[in-house]
Amino acid sequence: MYLRAELEANVQSWTQKNFPSLGIGPWIRPCADPRHGHFQTHFPLLAAKQTGGNAREIATRLAEECSPPPGWEKPQIAGGGFVNYRATPNAVARGIENLRKDKAFGIVPNERPETIVVDFSSPNIAKAMHVGHIRSTLLGDTLARLLRRCGNQVIRINHLGDWGTQFGKLLLAYRAAGRPELSNSNAIQQLEEFYKLGHQESESDPAKMELARAELAALQSGDPERKKDWEVFCERSAEHFREIYRRLNVTFDLEKGESTYHEELPGVVEDLLRLKIAEISQGAVVVRNPSISEEPFLIRKSDGAFLYGTTDLAALRSRIRDLHAHRIIYVTDGRQQLHFRWLFDTAHKWNQQGVFEHVWFGTILGSDRKPLKSRDGTPIKLVDLLDEAKDRAKKILLEKRPDLTGQSLEDKAELLGIASLKYADQMPGRNLDYVFTWEKLLAFDGNTAPYILNAYVRTRSILRKAGIETPPYHPIVLKEPAEEELSRHLMQYGDIVALAAQDRRPHHLCGYLFETAGMFHRFFEACPVLQAPTPDLRNSRLTLAGLTGDILRDGLGILGIPTLEEM
C-alpha cells in the first residue's frame, strides 16, 4: 500500500467505528499547499454538519485516537476542522520501494468491473478522414486504454457511416462513369469526386435526384450489382482508414457500419409505436419530450426513410443484447449533445438496461480562432496532417541530430510528430476548444510530448551510462528535497489514472506526466546519480530514475504514445 491509501485505510477504520452513518469515504486528499502537509481530511467538518457536533473537537479526537501509519509525523489540526498529515522521508522511501515492486504502478482494478462499449472515431465510407475525426479517435482510444487498465472489459467499436442517402448520389455518378476500377493508391479521392459530382447533379436537377433515390432504393433492396459496387466502396475506404489507424496506433474490436442494423429498423419503429413511446405526426414517427426540446426526436420520415436516431437505437439494443454491455460510451463532438440526450431518454423508456454516456469534446481552432481548415476552406485531410507532423518533426530532429539518416530518421520523425499531435490534442480539457499551432506542440520545452519523451530518454541514458540494462530494485535513501518530492509524486500515479478514467478526462494524466518530467529534470540537476557520494545513494537514485522512466512510459502508453530509447 502507498502513502495515501495507507493513511486512508487508517482513517476509514476510525470513521466507521465512530461515525458509521457517514459512509466509507474516501476521506483523504492531497494538501493544496504542501507547506501545510502532504495529505488532509475535511471529515470533521462533514461529521459536525451531520451530527451537530463541534468540528474542531472531532478533529482533535481524530488526530489523537487515529494514529497515522508508522514513520509519519504527528497530525496537525488546522482551521475550523481540518487535519493535516505529513509523511517522513523514511515513510516515503518505504512507499516508493513498494511501488517499485508493483507491476501495475499503483493502479488498482475496480472492485466491480464492467463490460463497457466505447464507440469512437466513426468515419463515413467513401470520404477521406479529416481533422474533425482526430479528437474522437484519440480520446476514444485513450478512454478505452484507461478503462481497461482499471480492470474493465472494454469493447472498442468503430460505428461506420456506410448507409444512407449519400450512397444513392455516389452510385449515380459512379455508374454514369461506367463503374471504373478504383485505383489502389487513390481510391478515396476518386470516391470523393464521384460523390461531389453526384451531389451537385442531384441537388440541381430534380430528375437526377429521383435517379439517385432509385439507386439507393435498389441498393437497399439488395440489387446484386449495386451491392457489389457498395462493397467495393466500403473495402477501398477501409484500406484508407486502416492506414491512418496504423499510424495512430489505434485498434478496434469491432467495426460495424450502419448497414448492420438496416433490417432491424422497421421493428424498432413498430416497437416504439406499440409501447406508445413514439407517435405518428404528419406521417412521420416521432418521440416527444418537452423537457429535452420542443422539437421532437424524429425516428422515421414521412416518406418512410429512417434516420441516425433509428440506427443508433438499434445499435444500442444490440450492444446490450449481444455484447452484454453494462455501459456504453459515445465519443463525439459537442454539437451532438442534443441527439444523445434524445437517444438515451428514448432508450430508457424502451427499457434498455444500461448506463449510457456521451463524452463530448470541443473544436480544434486555427490561429484565427475559427475551426481549423485548409487554405482553400475545406477540412484538412487527416493523412495530410500526419504527414506534415512527420515532416516538421524531421526538420527539428535534423537540427538537433544532424547525424541521423535513413530509416532511423524516418522512424523517429514519425514517432515524434504523431506523438506531438496526440499529446497536444489530449492535453487541454476535452470540453475546451483549443488553438492548433505547430510550433507549440513540437516544442522540446513546455507541456508537450517532446518534453516528456526527453525526460524518459534521460532516465534510460542514465541507466545505460551505469551499465544497467533494466531498471534496478535497490533500497531507497532520500537525502535531498528534490528526490523526496519526486518520490511522493510518483506514488500519486495510480490515483491520477483512476481520476482520468472516472472523469473521462485524459488531461489529468497529461498534466501529471508533464509534472513528473519537470520533477525528474529538477531531481537530475539537484541530485548527482552516477557521482552520488555513497554507493547506497547511487543505487537509490538509479532505482528512482528507472521507476520514473517506467511510469512515464506507462502513462504515455495509456495516451497511445510509444517511447524511444534515445532521441
- Is pLDDT of 539 > 70? yes
- Is pLDDT of 334 > 60? yes
CA atoms of 419 and 426, how far apart (whole Å): 11
- Is pLDDT of 42 > 80? yes
- pLDDT score of 379: 81
3-state secondary structure of 458: helix
CA atoms of 348 and 352, how far apart (whole Å): 5
- Is pLDDT of 352 > 70? yes
Residue entry with cell 475545406: 378
3-state secondary structure of 442: coil
CA atoms of 157 and 182, how far apart (whole Å): 27
Kind and range of the H or E run holding 215: helix 206-220
Domain assignment present for residue 198? The answer is: no
Domain assignment present for residue 83? The answer is: yes
Phi-psi region of 45 (alpha: psi -120 to 50; beta: other; left: phi over 0): alpha
What band does 372 get if pLDDT is binned at 50, 70 and 90? confident
DSSP type of residue 130: B
Helix/strand number for the chain, H first, E second:
20, 14
Q: What is the pLDDT of residues 470-481, one digit of tens each?
A: 999 999 999 999
C-alpha cell at 395: 526538420
- pLDDT score of 350: 98
Domain assignment present for residue 553? The answer is: yes
- Is pLDDT of 1 > 60? no
Instruction: Classify burial at 202, counting beta carbons within 10 Å of its beta carbon; exposed 0-12, middle 13-18, buried 19 or more.
Output: buried
- pLDDT score of 97: 95
C-alpha cell at 468: 544497467
**Number of structural domains in the chain:** 2
Domain assignment present for residue 421? The answer is: no
Written as one string, the DSSP assignment of 233-260 is HHHHHHHHHHHHHHHHT---SEEEEGGG
Nearest to 551 by CA among 502, 501, 487, 485: 487
What band does 25 get if pLDDT is binned at 50, 70 and 90? confident
Extended strands (E) in 4-137 = 28-30, 39-41, 76-78, 82-85, 115-119
Is residue 508 within 8 Å of 520, Cβ to Cβ?
Answer: no
Nearest to 548 by CA among 526, 524, 564: 524
CA atoms of 11 and 20, how far apart (whole Å): 12
Written as one string, the DSSP assignment of 532-552 is -SSHHHHHHHHHHHHHHHHHH
Gyration radius of the chain over CA positions:
28
Q: What percent of the chain has pLDDT over 70?
A: 99
Is residue 484 within 8 Å of 89, Cβ to Cβ?
Answer: yes
Residue type, 153: Q
- pLDDT score of 164: 85
Q: What is the pLDDT of residues 114-169, one digit of tens each?
A: 999 999 999 999 999 998 899 999 999 999 999 999 999 999 999 999 998 889 99
Q: What is the pLDDT of residues 376-386, one digit of tens each?
A: 667 889 999 99
CATH number of the domain where residue 547 is located:
1.10.730.10
CA distance to 353, 371, 472, 475, 526, per residue, from 480 (Å): 55, 48, 20, 16, 8
Q: What is the pLDDT of residues 300-322, one digit of tens each?
A: 999 888 999 999 999 999 999 99
Kind and range of the H or E run holding 285: strand 284-289
CA atoms of 19 and 28, how far apart (whole Å): 16
Is residue 449 within 8 Å of 457, Cβ to Cβ?
Answer: no
Nearest to 119 by CA among 318, 269, 365: 318
Domain assignment present for residue 516? The answer is: yes
**End of a domain among 30, 54, 87?**
87
C-alpha cell at 455: 525526460
**End of a domain among 70, 87, 104?**
87
CATH number of the domain where residue 23 is located:
3.30.1360.70
CA distance to 394, 412, 505, per residue, from 400 (Å): 10, 12, 34
Task: For residue 15, give its domain range.
Answer: 3-87
- Is pLDDT of 499 > 70? yes
Instruction: Classify burial at 310, counting beta carbons within 10 Å of its beta carbon; exposed 0-12, middle 13-18, buried 19 or more.
Output: buried
Is residue 516 within 8 Å of 545, Cβ to Cβ?
Answer: no
For residues 269-288, average pLDDT:
97
For residues 166-189, average pLDDT:
92
**End of a domain among 87, 119, 151?**
87
Domain assignment present for residue 51? The answer is: yes
What band does 375 get if pLDDT is binned at 50, 70 and 90? low
Domain assignment present for residue 466? The answer is: yes
Q: What is the pLDDT of residues 58-105, one digit of tens each?
A: 999 999 999 999 889 999 999 889 999 999 999 999 999 999 999 999
- Is pLDDT of 191 > 80? yes
Is residue 78 within 8 Å of 57, Cβ to Cβ?
Answer: no
| Average pLDDT taken over every residue of the chain | 94
CA atoms of 436 and 446, how far apart (whole Å): 15
- Is pLDDT of 174 > 60? yes
Domain assignment present for residue 295? The answer is: no
Q: What percent of the chain has pLDDT over 90?
A: 86
